[in-house]
Amino acid sequence: MGKRVLGLLLAAVLLFTGCVRVKTAETPAATEAPTEAPTAEPTEAPAAEYAITDPLLATGYDVQDNARVFYEIFVGSFSDSNGDGIGDLRGIIDKFDYLNDGDPNSGKSLGIEGIWLSPIFSSPSYHKYDVTDYYTIDPKFGTQQDLDDLIALCHSRGVKLILDLVINHTARSCSWFGEFTKAHRQGDTTNPYYEFYTYYTKGEQAPAGRAFAPLSGTDVYYECNFYDGMPELNFDNPAVREEILKLSRYYLDRGLDGFRFDAAKYVYFGDHKRSVEYWTEYLTTLRSEYPGLYTVAEVWDGDGVTDLYYPATNCFNFTVAQVSGLMAETAKQGNAGKMAQYVEKYLQKIRGTNPDAMFVPFLSNHDMDRIVGALTVESGNMQMAANLYVLGPGSPFLYYGEELGMRGSRGAANTDANRRLAMVWGDEDTVKDPEGTTYGRDKQIQKGAKQQMEDPNSLYNYYKKLIMIRKANPAIARGEYKAVAVNGSKVGGFTATLDGDTVLVLHNPSRNSQSVDLSAIGDFGTLRAVVGMHGASLSGTKLEIEGQTSVVLGK
C-alpha cells in the first residue's frame, strides 16, 4: 500500500473513529419456552376472500414487482438430496413445492415469491462467507447445472432468486490471495494481484481501528476485519472493481435476478462515503445492463447509516428487526400506530433519495437468535409479529423455518451455528445441524413442516394464510402507504392505494378488544380478511377488532 493511500485511509479512520470493528452485537436472547402450537384458534375467513387474481404485476418489469415475500435459505441446513447430511441445491429443488408450487390458489404451498440463498460458491467453511472461487459452486452444495436448474424452476413458478455476494473479503484459499502472497514474497510488483488486497508494510504506521494480520514470508500485513481467514479486497484497484462486475455478470447472464450484498459497509472500513461511492458505481453499471435487478445490502447499523446507502441500493431494515426491534416490541402489546408512523416516515425518506427504494423488513436472519425465542407462538406474539411484516409494504424476508417457529440461539457456546440449525421437515430428509452446533435437539420444535402442513392451527398454516391475504390485496405490498394511528388505543396500520384499489390494514397488538370508528379513516365497508388470535366484525362504520388480531378492509 502506497503512502498516499495509507494517508487517505488514516484520514478516513480519523473521521469515523466511532465506527465498530465488526458486526454489531445484538441483544441477548430471551429464554426460549419449550412449547410450540398456538393454543388459541386463528380466525378463519372464507377462502374465496383470498382469491388471488393478480399476484404480481404481469405487464413487463416494474420496480414494485420486487415487493415480494422473500425467503432466506441457509443452504447447508435446508434440505439434503444425497444423504451426506448437508443441505444442497438439489435439496431446494426437491422441496420446491413446499416453498411455491406454482399455483397461488392451491393452498398447499407457503407461497413465497423470492429466495435469497446464503453463499454457494466454493469455500472452506460450512457457512461459505469466505469464498475460494466465485466461479465454482461448492461441491457439497452441487454444480453450476444445479444452479441453472434451480433458476429455471424459480422462474417457472414466478419466484425470483438472489445470491449472497460476499466481496468485501475472500478466503485465504482464493487463488487471488495465493497470487497476492506470491507477488509479495517475490517482490514482484508487476504481478496483477500485487495490489488486490489492502495491506500496509512493516515500517509504515498501521491504520488505526482496523484489523491486520502478518502475511508469512513478507513484510506485509493484510487487512482482515472479521478474522485472519478473510483477507479484504482492495477496492482502490480498478482491476478488483472490474473482477466483481465480471463475476456478477457471469451469474446475471444465466438468469439470476439479483444479489444480497454481504458486509456492504465494510468495503471501505469506517468510510461510508467511499463505500457508497463504490456501490453506486458498481450498481449504476449493472443496472444499465440488467434493468430488473433486485439488490439488498446488509448494512448492519441504524437508519442514519443505512440512509447513506439507500441511493445505491435497498438495505435491510435493522431498526424493525431482532429481539429488541420495533416489530418485536410492537408485537408484544406495543403501539401499532407508532410503528406505522415510523414506516411512513422511513418510506418518505428512502424514496426521497431513491424513487425505486423498497422497505425490507425481517425478524431474524442467520446472524441472529431466532425471534420465536423472544416472542413465542403460544403467547400469540409471534403471530402478531408475522402480521406486521407480511401484511406490510416492500419485500419482507422470512428466515427459513421461521414459518414453523423453529428455535435456535447462540447460547453459552456463543456459536452462530446454533442460529442455523437443520430445517425441521418431519419427513425422511437427511439434513443435519451444521458443525459446531450445541443447541439441544430436545429444545427444537417437535412438529416439522410435514406435521404442521396437516395441522390447520399450525404456525405454518398461519403464515401461508398471511401470504395469501397479502397476494390477494396487491395494494398492501405496493400501494401508496399512509400511516393510520387510532387515538387512545394501540390499534394502528395504514391505508394503501394501487391501481384504484384502496385497502386499510389495521393491527391490534393489545390483549383487549377495541372499537374503531372507521368514518374518521375513510370509506371502508368490506372486511376482506381477519387474521390473528381472535376475531373482528364490521357493523356500518364501527369495527370491533379483538386482541392480537389484524384486519384488511376494502371500500
Q: Give the interface with Ca ion as residue ranges (CB under 5 A).
A: 80, 82, 84, 86, 88, 168, 232, 266, 269
423 within 8 A of 86, measured Cβ to Cβ? no
Residue with Cβ nearer Ca ion (77 or 495): 77
Cell of 359: 422497505
State the CB neighbour count (10 A cutoff) for residue 543: 24
In the bound complex, what is the minimum distance in angstroms from residue 241's beta carbon to Ca ion?
A: 13
Secondary structure class of 375 (helix, strand, coil): helix
196 within 8 A of 176, measured Cβ to Cβ? yes
CA angle, 155 then 460 then 105, to 5°: 50
Active site residue 253: no
In the bound complex, what is the minimum distance in angstroms from residue 84's beta carbon to Ca ion?
A: 4
In the bound complex, what is the minimum distance in angstroms from residue 232's beta carbon to Ca ion?
A: 4
Dihedrals phi, psi of 10, to nearest 5 degrees:
-60, -40
Residue with Cβ nearer Ca ion (239 or 520): 239
Catalytically annotated residue among 223, 262, 307, 429: 262
Q: Which among 521, 529, 457 has a CA at the least distance from the CA of 484?
A: 521
For β-strands 70-73 and 536-539, DSSP reports them as unpaired
Secondary structure class of 154 (helix, strand, coil): helix
274-284 burial, b at 16+ Cβ within 10 Å, e below that, comes to bbbebbeebbe
Distance between CA atoms of residues 224 and 222, nearest Å: 6
Burial class (CB in 10 A: 0-12, 13-18, 19+), 243: middle
Residue with Cβ nearer Ca ion (269 or 318): 269
In the bound complex, what is the minimum distance in angstroms from residue 122's beta carbon to Ca ion?
A: 15
Secondary structure class of 459 (helix, strand, coil): helix
Residue with Cβ nearer Ca ion (76 or 111): 76
In the bound complex, what is the minimum distance in angstroms from residue 298's beta carbon to Ca ion?
A: 13
Residue with Cβ nearer Ca ion (128 or 160): 128
The 480-485 sheet, strands edge to edge: 480-485, 492-498, 501-508, 549-554, 526-532
Distance between CA atoms of residues 209 and 263, nearest Å: 17
Residue with Cβ nearer Ca ion (80 or 236): 80
Residue with Cβ nearer Ca ion (116 or 222): 222
In the bound complex, what is the minimum distance in angstroms from residue 210's beta carbon to Ca ion?
A: 8
CA angle, 433 then 438 then 443, to 5°: 80
Q: DSSP string spanning 230-249?
A: SPBB-TTSHHHHHHHHHHHH
Angle between helices 238-252 and 272-289 (to 10 degrees): 40
In the bound complex, what is the minimum distance in angstroms from residue 9's beta carbon to Ca ion?
A: 10
Catalytically annotated residue among 36, 164, 298, 369: 298
Residue with Cβ nearer Ca ion (222 or 251): 222
Active site residue 427: no
Could you list the active site residues?
262, 298
